[in-house]
Amino acid sequence: MRVNEPALPADREESLNPPVFAAGASLTKLANDFGTDKGTIILDGHAYTLVYELLFKNLRLQPINLLEVGLLIGGPELGNDANRKVTDAPSIRLWHQYFPHAHIYGVDISDFSQFESEWFSFFKADCGKVEQLRKIARAGVEFEIIIDDGSHASFHQQLTMLKFWPLLRSGGLYIIEDLHSQPRHYEKSLPNTPKTATQLKKFIATGCFIGTNALPAVEWGPVEETISNVMLFDNDQLAEMRRIYNRVEGYRPAVPNHLERPWPQRVLKRAHIRRLFETMRACAGVLTAQSHRGHCSPVTLAIVHKR
């Protein structure tokens, strides 16, 4: 079910209409071209799209509903005004290009209503306000994919998951990005909750979440009962995937290091030389890990599958 909204003037639709790329372009290539850090070269180059490609491929041409929380970097989580003027929503353009038959929904504390169109609907909400989240839920939309790329504050992530989990269809995916990066001023000012990565690790180990005064255990029950699987990815895993992808594709990261520079053409043409270099690097990585026992790369991406 979708929200019935009046069609907007064509000039308001144009601003998010993406350029036409080659049919079948990979999600990571699109992310890099659109300038979103979900890919492998923009800003931190999180490489989330390398994981998403495997999960989303069979849905690409389906008429799905996708919801993303947090539409543009630079909001209050970085100390900026919630009423900032926004001029773009790159990840929304990315999803429209990758899922041409989908209806995309966005949630943000800043106003992106100027971009609404026949394929994009917007909800303005503060993810720390229960009633505002409930209002979105009452719209009656069900989603195949929900992505939380909002403030990254633990309380916001968990409250949003509690209120939006019922909107996820059976078999759907609930994704939380940037679990390693909580804004300190939010963490101090919001109700005290465990880190979301800690909550998910607890669920994997015990099948239960940690109840708190802010988010009691009884509220987590319906979520716990309907989770099929949880996948967690840490920084090191994603960095390794990004490094290999960028080398093979010849991409140059925004802040490259000696391990992520593209292979020279003479090496690209000689697979046995590449394999030798990769083997040498893998051995060096093992030795480095041995010398840093106890180090654990932080979890940065969670994918939760609903039964």
User: In the chain, where does DSSP find H-type helix?
Assistant: 10-14, 27-34, 48-56, 90-98, 130-137, 154-164, 184-189, 196-206, 217-226, 235-249, 265-268, 271-291
- Contact call for residues 150 and 69 (beta carbons, < 8 A): yes
Contact 26, 248 (CB under 8 A): no
Catalytic residue among 152, 180, 272, 292: 152
Instruction: Give the closest residue to 174 by CA, choosing from 298, 69, 25, 36.
Output: 69
> Annotated catalytic, 46?
no
Pairing state of beta strands 299-306 and 168-177?
Answer: antiparallel
231 Cβ contact partners less than 8 Å away, ≥ 6 residues apart: 302, 303, 304, 305
Q: Outline where 250-270 has alpha helix (H).
A: 265-268
Q: Which residues are catalytic?
A: 152
